[in-house]
């Protein structure tokens, strides 16, 4: 085991995946080399998620295996779960071998915190912070695709969600900083950029200047070398016509909206504090598809929110049909300490949640398959992303495609005829 080696685990969403790229950048700038085997690593960093209890249980299981008392390896736990109130003290009690705990706000200070832990101190840094400085080193792992956060935090306080508790209020990056980073990515050979935010379409609101996501996309659309732009995650309440028109007008911005609905029942949406109705949501989907008939819409859905009745759940199932989602992430509601929904007594029994999630997975899979099958026989634009073992890419609508064909090269856009479709992936032949 060499002391200057590190191993990194990541749990959670795309924002966490990107934070891990920053953690890797910072740790490598401090002189560490990455290894995949934790037994070969002098330092193990676990970047955590607290959106669901199941993620936390997995992290505890991993710590049980890795953080053995008396071990020489330095174990660091960072990110959302580490930031959660009371968690640092819990981790210190249950896993005394964890010697460095850093929350989401302390991430930029990782080199200094790491140096203290290496010198033998037990370090806990879970303060509320002022924000993320520009120019931190990033070790990217996305091939020709790069993730660029444009807004940190969330102001929405959906009643089930722990994110605002651990990521703080919304803080947008200045547009000039984003434009500089994207231009630099283009020079390094990246071809697709995804702008990230928990609620990306409130980008710019806190800056007090005349900038929003649509104007940022317009500026980035001029960046030479970048072939495609995407953005995640849109909040249905904040999806205005200006953004929909910008996506339609700007040639590099892909026609895909990840638009979490969470529920199809107005009563549950109110209890969730989502700020829109089912009809508002469906009207937004219609507006997207009217403007861009080929656009894809994907979503997040939760079953078993406290008090969810059979009728509420039936409303979610019918929303899946009406909105004709191209894909969905489905979640079983999970009580998160400190959130308003945690104090609602009327929990849905586990067996009912299980039945509902099974029915929802079936419905979303069936609808997505039908949407994918409608693409068979069509010629679509694919960005070739990888060759492992066969060529792989994505359509503008973010549909994954396994590819075959003459002269394929990673990083190029190709016209591809779709020949087969499953619920998750398409197969296609690249044209000459």
Residues that bind ligand SF4 (CB under 6 A): 154, 156-158, 161, 163-164, 198-199, 235
Q: What are the residues whose beta carbons fall under 8 Å from the beta carbon of 48, sequence distance 6 or more?
A: 11, 12, 16, 55, 56, 59, 77, 78, 79, 80, 81, 82
Q: What are the residues whose beta carbons fall under 8 Å from the beta carbon of 166, sequence distance 6 or more?
A: 50, 80, 81, 83, 84, 103, 104
Does 167 sit near ligand SAM (CB under 6 A)? Answer: no
Of 137 and 340, nearer to ligand SAM (C-beta) is 340
Least gap, CB of 323 to ligand SF4 (angstroms) = 18
Of 74 and 163, nearer to ligand SAM (C-beta) is 163
Q: Which residues of 302-333 are buried (b: 16+ CB within 10 A; e: fewer)?
A: bbbbbebeeebbebbbebbeebebbbbebbbb
How far apart are the C-alpha atoms of 302 and 172, rounded to whole Å? Answer: 28
Q: Give the binding range for ligand SAM (CB under 6 A) out of 289-297, 329-337, 374-382, 419-427.
A: 329-337
CB atoms within 10 A of CB 71: 12
Least gap, CB of 276 to ligand SAM (angstroms) = 12
Q: According to CB under 6 A, which one of 161, 243, 320, 375 is a site residue for ligand SAM? A: 161
Does 203 sit near ligand SAM (CB under 6 A)? Answer: no
Q: Give the binding range for ligand SAM (CB under 6 A) out of 155-163, 248-256, 308-316, 319-327.
A: 155-163
52 binds, among ligand SAM, ligand SF4, none (CB under 5 to 8 A by kind): ligand SAM
Q: Where are the alpha helices (DSSP H) in 33-79?
A: 53-66
Identify the CA nearest to 326 among candidates 381, 411, 258: 258
Instruction: Evaluate whether 192 touches 378 at the Cβ level (below 8 Å).
Output: no
What residues form DSSP beta bridges with 5? 33
Q: According to CB under 6 A, which one of 333, 368, 372, 382 is a site residue for ligand SAM? A: 333
Identify the CA nearest to 160 among candidates 293, 309, 336, 416: 336
Q: According to CB under 6 A, which one of 47, 83, 194, 198 is a site residue for ligand SAM? A: 198
Identify the CA nearest to 154 among candidates 237, 66, 243, 263: 237
Does 323 sit near ligand SAM (CB under 6 A)? Answer: no
What phi, psi does 138 have (nearest 5°)?
-130, 130
Of 13 and 375, nearer to ligand SF4 (C-beta) is 13
Does 52 sit near ligand SAM (CB under 6 A)? Answer: yes
> x/- binding map, residues 281-310, to ligand SAM, per CB under 6 A?
-------------------x-x--------
How far apart are the C-alpha atoms of 110 and 8, rounded to whole Å? Answer: 14
Tokens, residue 230: 């995407």
Of 95 and 160, nearer to ligand SAM (C-beta) is 160
Angle at 426 between CA 380 and CA 252, to 5 degrees: 35
Of 165 and 178, nearer to ligand SAM (C-beta) is 165
Angle at 253 between CA 428 and CA 146, to 5 degrees: 80
Does 257 sit near ligand SAM (CB under 6 A)? Answer: no
Of 161 and 269, nearer to ligand SF4 (C-beta) is 161
16 binds, among ligand SAM, ligand SF4, none (CB under 5 to 8 A by kind): none
265 binds, among ligand SAM, ligand SF4, none (CB under 5 to 8 A by kind): none
CA 280 vs CA 247, 288, 295, 310, 344: distances in Å: 20, 13, 18, 22, 26
392 binds, among ligand SAM, ligand SF4, none (CB under 5 to 8 A by kind): none
Of 42 and 304, nearer to ligand SAM (C-beta) is 304
Binding region for ligand SAM (CB under 6 A) = 13, 51-52, 160-161, 163, 198-199, 233, 235, 260, 262, 300, 302, 331, 333-334, 336
């Amino acid at each position: 085991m060499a002391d200057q080696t590190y191993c990194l685990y990541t749990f959670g969403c795309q924002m966490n995946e990107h934070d891990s790229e920053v953690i890797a950048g910072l740790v490598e700038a401090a002189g560490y080399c990455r290894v995949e085997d934790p037994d070969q690593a002098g330092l193990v960093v676990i970047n955590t998620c607290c959106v669901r209890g199941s993620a936390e249980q997995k992290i505890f299981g991993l710590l049980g295996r890795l953080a053995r008392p008396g071990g020489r390896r330095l174990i660091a736990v960072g990110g959302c779960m580490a930031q959660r109130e009371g968690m640092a003290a819990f981790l210190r009690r249950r896993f005394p071998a964890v010697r460095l705990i850093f929350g989401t706000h302390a991430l930029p200070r990782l080199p200094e915190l790491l140096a203290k832990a290496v010198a033998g101190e037990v370090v806990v840094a879970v303060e509320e912070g002022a924000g993320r400085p520009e120019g931190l080193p990033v070790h990217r792992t996305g091939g020709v695709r790069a993730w660029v956060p444009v807004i940190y935090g969330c102001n929405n306080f959906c009643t089930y969600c722990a994110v605002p508790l651990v990521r703080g209020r919304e803080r947008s990056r200045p547009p000039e900083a984003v434009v500089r980073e994207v231009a630099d990515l283009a020079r390094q050979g990246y071809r697709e950029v995804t702008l990230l935010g928990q609620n990306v379409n409130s980008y710019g609101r806190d800056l007090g200047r005349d900038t929003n996501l649509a104007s940022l996309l317009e500026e980035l659309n001029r960046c030479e070398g970048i072939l495609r732009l995407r953005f995640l995650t849109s909040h249905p309440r904040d999806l205005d016509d200006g953004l929909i028109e910008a996506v339609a007008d700007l040639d590099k911005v892909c026609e895909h909206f990840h638009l979490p609905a969470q529920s199809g029942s107005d009563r549950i949406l109110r209890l969730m504090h989502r700020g829109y109705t089912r009809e508002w949501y469906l009207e937004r989907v219609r507006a997207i598809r009217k403007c861009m008939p080929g656009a894809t819409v994907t979503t997040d859905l939760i079953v078993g929110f406290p008090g969810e009745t059979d009728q509420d759940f039936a409303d979610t199932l019918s929303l899946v049909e009406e909105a004709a989602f191209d894909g969905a992430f489905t979640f079983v509601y999970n009580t998160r300490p400190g959130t308003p929904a945690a104090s609602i007594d009327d929990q849905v029994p586990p067996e009912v949640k299980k039945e509902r999630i099974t029915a929802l997975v079936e419905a979303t899979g069936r609808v997505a398959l039908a949407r994918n099958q409608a693409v068979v026989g069509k010629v679509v634009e694919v960005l070739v992303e990888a060759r492992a073992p066969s060529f792989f890419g994505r359509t503008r609508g973010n549909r994954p495609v396994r590819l075959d064909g003459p002269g394929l090269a990673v990083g190029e856009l190709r016209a591809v005829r779709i020949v087969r479709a499953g619920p998750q992936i398409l197969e296609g032949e690249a044209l000459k």
